[in-house]
Every structure is written in C-alpha cells, then in structure tokens.
Amino acid sequence: MARTSVKVWAPATVANVAVGYDILGFAIDGPGDEILLKRGTSKGLKIVEITGAKGKLPLDPMKNTAGVAAIKLLESLGAEDEPLEMSIRKKMPFGSGLGSSAASAVGGVFAVNELLKTGLSKREILRFAVEGEKVADGAWHADNVAPSLLGGMTFIRDNETLDVHKIYVPKGIQIVVIYPEVEVLTKDSRAVLSDSIQLNQHILQSGNLGGFIIGMYNSDFELIKRSLNDVIIEPQRAALIPSFSKMKEAALSHGALGFSISGAGPSMFAFCNNTYVAEKIVGSAEQIYGDQKIKVKTFQSGINNEGAFLF
C-alpha cells in the first residue's frame, strides 16, 4: 500500500570532535529536525511550513537544504514532478554549530525515500543529503550529514567520494552539548582559520586523531582523554566563543575526557564516560553563563547510534 504521508526525525550532530576537522562527527539525542512529508495536489515539491526557525529559513525548496536534498533524490528517480508537501519543524537551534542545515537536508531526503519506498539504503541517499547541505555553506562535506543520517560516530576517510565509516563507540560515553545563545557566523568561523599549518602541528594532531580512534576501538578512556586535544582549529576559534576557556577548564576539572568546539561553534561539547561527570558539567554551564547573563541551552545524551528514523 502506498504511503500518503511520513514523519521522520533527523538528529543534531557534533562535527570536528577536536581532532577530526571536516572528517569526524557524531549524532546526539534530543535536538533535531522533524519533517512531515505528504502527497500533495500540485506538481513538484513544496515547503508548506517551517516552524521553530523564527522565519529565518527560506520556503523556496531550491534555497532550503531540506528542499534541495529531497529534489536531488526525486530527480535521480525521475520523480521531480511528484506532488509533495513538506513541513519542517526545527526542534533544535540553528546557527549553533550543531548541524542544523545538515539535519534538514537529511530529514528532507530521508522523508522522500520513506514516502516513495524507493528501496534505497541510507548509504545510497547520503550524497543527496550532502548536495542539500552544500546549499547552506557552499562546501561539499559530510561531517554533519553522515552522522545525522547514519547515526553513531562517523569517520570520513574522503569527503569527495563519501568514504564514510562508523567507529566503534565504547559503552558509557556521554555527551554534554552547551549552546550559549550568541551568534557566530560560519563564514567568520571559517575566516579565522589559516590555510596553512606547521608540519609539526600536523604530526601532533595526527597522533591525537589516531590515539582517539585506537582508544575508541579498545575502550581505553585514558587514551581517549590524552588524545582529545586540538592543536590546530580550537586555538584559532576559541576566542569567538564567550568564556570558552573557563567552560573548558570547568569541564575538564569535573572529569571530562575532552572538551572542544562543536562544528564552527558557538556550541561546545564535553566528551565524558559517565552521567555523573556529564551532569556536573551541565551545572557548571548554567552557572558560568548565568553569571554573565548569556542564555545557554544544554543537551546531555549518549551518542545516538540510529541516525535518521521514521516515526
């Protein structure tokens, strides 16, 4: 029986993860995009409603990451005239460094895939989601899109060919995401980065990346802790985020395995191995930003291993 409507969820994500700029990311529980897709009456895909975005996201499907991702899949199926109506319900902050545009792209393409029962796997629709995401920042990269769609901790060997792999996640990993409600534009966040780095920085960061992956496979939390140290990106971006150092110091003093910037910021994440530490960090975040009268949202969750799903 053909479906007449679907409701899907695409989770928010943390990209870069301190040691994997452009190649590492993971999905979390809690924030994300809910997308409702219905068969409509007039030709082609329309975005009929966007909630939770304060009117800041375009209804024009060709300018919206959810719309573009959906249309790219429809075109590949020769189904671009299929009458479809999409409602996007943002249940996460955007411009926050939590992969908002990626969650929309994933939700859009995943909803079409489920409504039309194409039989395509998540891996097969990944590239359409990346095309959607590209509308937001002009770059072809899957570090938010891949974990939002596939779930888990994803490692991208190569963005160009979407050579994406899930890294084993040891039991007990807890994430705290801290979003201070200040605006950091992705273009500013990209602009502060130098195009070149020292060979020695590359060696140190590669050591930390490898140590992180080995630590994950071996459930070696001490190794993960020694590894989660960004010597390249974080030092350049930290100044864009209010009280970054203070927040990091608090998180590490509570026992976090690592603390760094989520994507382009201003969100930050703490990587923990139990809920006890995670909860203390949430408390510190509320106090540190409360003292400064900066609104803050916190999310605490495990690593979401499922990715996008059909309700």
CA distance 270 to 281: 8
- Among 132, 35, 38, 48, CA closest to 83: 38
Spell out, one character per residue from 234 to 273, where the chain touches its own copies: x when CB under 8 A holds, - when not: ----------------------------------------
State which of residues 227, 273, 284, 298 lies at the interface with its own copies (CB under 8 A). Answer: 227
State which of residues 37, 73, 84, 209 lies at the interface with its own copies (CB under 8 A). Answer: 209
Pick the stretch among 6-14, 18-26, 79-87, 116-124 that binds its own copies (CB under 8 A): 18-26
Least Å distance between CB 193 and its own copies?
Answer: 7
Asked if 191 touches its own copies (CB under 8 A), the answer is: no
Asked if 155 touches its own copies (CB under 8 A), the answer is: yes
Least Å distance between CB 163 and its own copies?
Answer: 6
Least Å distance between CB 166 and its own copies?
Answer: 9
Closer to its own copies at the Cβ: 75 or 158?
158
Cβ atoms within 10 A of the Cβ of 232, count?
A: 19
In contact, 271 and 175? CB cutoff 8 Å: yes
| CA 287, chain centre distance (Å) | 26
Pick the stretch among 226-234, 239-247, 265-273, 282-290 that binds its own copies (CB under 8 A): 226-234
CA distance 303 to 311: 19
Closer to its own copies at the Cβ: 183 or 195?
195
Cα 45 to Cα 67, 155, 273, 275, 276, distances in angstroms: 8, 32, 44, 43, 46
Asked if 23 touches its own copies (CB under 8 A), the answer is: yes
CA distance 71 to 76: 8
CA distance 142 to 126: 8
State which of residues 193, 275, 283, 295 lies at the interface with its own copies (CB under 8 A). Answer: 193
Asked if 197 touches its own copies (CB under 8 A), the answer is: yes
State which of residues 44, 172, 210, 235 lies at the interface with its own copies (CB under 8 A). Answer: 210
Closer to its own copies at the Cβ: 4 or 161?
161
State which of residues 232, 272, 288, 296 lies at the interface with its own copies (CB under 8 A). Answer: 232
Angle 228-13-280 from CA coordinates, rounded to 5° = 60
Least Å distance between CB 16 and its own copies?
Answer: 11
**Contacting residues for 104 by C-beta, under 8 A, at least 6 apart:** 10, 33, 35, 57, 64, 65, 66, 69, 88, 90, 132
- What's the DSSP call for residue 239? G
Asked if 214 touches its own copies (CB under 8 A), the answer is: yes
Could you list the active site residues? 133, 186
* DSSP secondary structure, 54-86, as one string: TT-S--SGGGSHHHHHHHHHHHHTT-TTS-EEE
- Among 51, 81, 88, CA closest to 67: 88
Least Å distance between CB 196 and its own copies?
Answer: 5
State which of residues 204, 238, 240, 294 lies at the interface with its own copies (CB under 8 A). Answer: 204
Q: Contact residues for its own copies (CB under 8 A)?
A: 20-24, 155-159, 163, 165, 167-168, 193-200, 202-211, 213-214, 217, 223, 226-227, 232
